[in-house]
Amino acid sequence: MRYPEKLNKGDYIGVTAISCGIDNDQDLLRFENAIRNLENLGYKVKTTENCKTFSNGRSSSAEERVRQFMELYKDETVKAIIFLEGGDFACEMLDYLDFYDLSLLPPKWIMGYSDCTNLTLTFNILCDTASIYGPNFKSFGMGNLHESLTNSLRLMEKEEFVQNSYEKCEKFGFASDDENPYYGFNLVDDVKYVNLKGGEEVSFKGRCIGGCIDLLREVIIGSKFDKLKEYCEKYKEDGIVWFLEEFEGTSPENYRTLWRMRNMGLFDNCKGIIFGRPLMVRADYDISYEQSILDALEGLDFPIVSGVDIGHLAPQIPIISGSILEVHSQNGKGNLKSLFN
């Protein structure tokens, strides 16, 4: 696995819009504040033009998004790239990216979540390059930066440290405040890690892979970019740890996706799976999200932990996707640690 260089204070962080761009005044204020926040932390920020453009759910054409992304990726002064936000159309870039060319370039940090899975995941499986499944740039625009945001920068600085579960998290829906563009997370629900296979305490580690499961089932699996099986085979001696989180869907959809992954052999060398808090999952047939997981993975002998601080219901623990990930869960709490090996 290739790891990018260490990010240092004074380095440039690039920002580009691989899916949505800014389409309202409030988001523009938040964007500008995110720049100020990173500059106050000692970094420089370089943004692409498409951060401030928006049409039909896209910041620009797929070709233009690739051009602007590659402009940052090939810029030797830029040491990391944070994606502006998620959306629905980052997948369009895959047809225009030259992953062979990317695999020959010096690796560079890229970070984002949700629709950004299209790049954070494919960098792992097509370029053998680590990425960060963590906050999008828009989150850095809040008035007082949450610890989870600054922790993502610590990972880019190649610091190995334990990230503990949080006490509170958001509930259904996004935190927002039309009167305040600098809103923070709306932390109202208790965080509770659940060991779905039972037991008060579980620990496991392995080479991790994952992201938003919506994108795995709708874009990656079965496409020409699907090298998940090859990745799992390449790193089988490390053991595989999957991290998965869901934006929206139903419990049967979740079941079918996991059933498909199981029958593709993607869990053959699995050491454990962590599931984030789903944002919007409908419990059809009175089957809960957790029960759909257990039904799909019945009989497989590895730990499964749900309710983990990853994904759409903040705060999220940033993960170095492609790294060795250590997972610990005990009595409703837990921690994660990404290792650079």
pLDDT tens, position by position, 252-277: 999 999 999 999 999 999 999 999 99
CATH code of the domain covering residue 73: 3.40.50.10740
Q: Phi, psi at residue 99, to the nearest 5°?
A: -70, -25
Strands 109-112 vs 131-133: parallel, antiparallel or unpaired = parallel
In a domain, 3, yes or no: no
What is d(CA 34, CA 111) in angstroms, rounded to the nearest whole number? Answer: 15
255: left (phi over 0), alpha (psi -120 to 50) or beta: alpha
DSSP 193-211: -EETT--SEEEEEEEEEEE
Return the H-helix or E-strand segment holding 151.
Answer: helix 147-156
309 and 232, same domain (yes or no): yes
**Nearest alpha carbon to residue 226 among 237, 236, 215:** 215
Q: How many CB atoms lie within 10 A of CB 230?
A: 11
76 and 224, same domain (yes or no): no
Per-residue pLDDT 10s for the chain (341 aa) are 999 999 999 999 999 999 999 999 999 999 999 999 999 999 999 999 999 999 999 999 999 999 999 999 999 999 999 999 999 999 999 999 999 999 999 999 999 999 999 999 999 999 999 999 999 999 999 999 999 999 999 999 999 999 999 999 998 655 555 678 899 999 999 999 999 999 999 999 999 999 999 999 999 999 999 999 999 999 999 999 999 999 999 999 999 999 999 999 999 999 999 999 999 999 999 999 999 999 999 999 999 999 999 999 999 999 999 999 999 999 999 999 999 98
123 and 234, same domain (yes or no): no
246, exposed or middle or buried, with CB in 10 Å at 0-12, 13-18, 19+? Answer: buried
**Residue 57 is encoded by which pair of tokens?**
């759910």
In a domain, 1, yes or no: no
154 and 278, same domain (yes or no): no
Domain that holds residue 324: 164-339
What is d(CA 99, CA 76) in angstroms, rounded to the nearest whole number? Answer: 18
- Cα radius of gyration rounded to whole Å, the chain: 19
What is d(CA 185, CA 189) in angstroms, rounded to the nearest whole number? Answer: 11
In a domain, 326, yes or no: yes
In a domain, 2, yes or no: no
What is d(CA 120, CA 152) in angstroms, rounded to the nearest whole number? Answer: 14
Strands 131-133 vs 319-321: parallel, antiparallel or unpaired = antiparallel
Domains held by the chain: number: 2
151 and 181, same domain (yes or no): no
In a domain, 4, yes or no: no
In a domain, 173, yes or no: yes
∠167-198-305 over CA atoms, to 5°?
50
Sequence-ordered strand ranges (E) for 84-237:
109-112, 131-133, 163-164, 168-169, 189-190, 194-195, 201-212
103 and 202, same domain (yes or no): no
147 and 18, same domain (yes or no): yes
pLDDT at 177: 59
Of the chain, the end-to-end C-alpha distance in Å amounts to 8
183 and 287, same domain (yes or no): yes
DSSP 223-291: STT--HHHHHHHTTTT-EEEEEE-SEEEHHHHHHHHHHHHHTTTTTTEEEEEEE--SEEE-GGG--HHH
66 and 152, same domain (yes or no): yes
211 and 232, same domain (yes or no): yes
Choose one of 114, 134, 159: the last residue of a domain.
Answer: 159
Query: Three-state SS for 296?
Result: helix
315 and 185, same domain (yes or no): yes
207-227: string of b/e by CB count within 10 Å (b at 16+)?
Answer: bbbbbbbbbbbbbbbeeebbb
Choose one of 159, 182, 216: the last residue of a domain.
Answer: 159
pTM (global) more than 0.85: yes
292 and 268, same domain (yes or no): yes
Choose one of 159, 174, 202: the last residue of a domain.
Answer: 159
In a domain, 180, yes or no: yes
CATH code of the domain covering residue 183: 3.50.30.60
Answer for the pair 12, 72: CB distance below 8 angstroms, yes or no. Answer: no
What is d(CA 82, CA 103) in angstroms, rounded to the nearest whole number? Answer: 19
In a domain, 5, yes or no: no
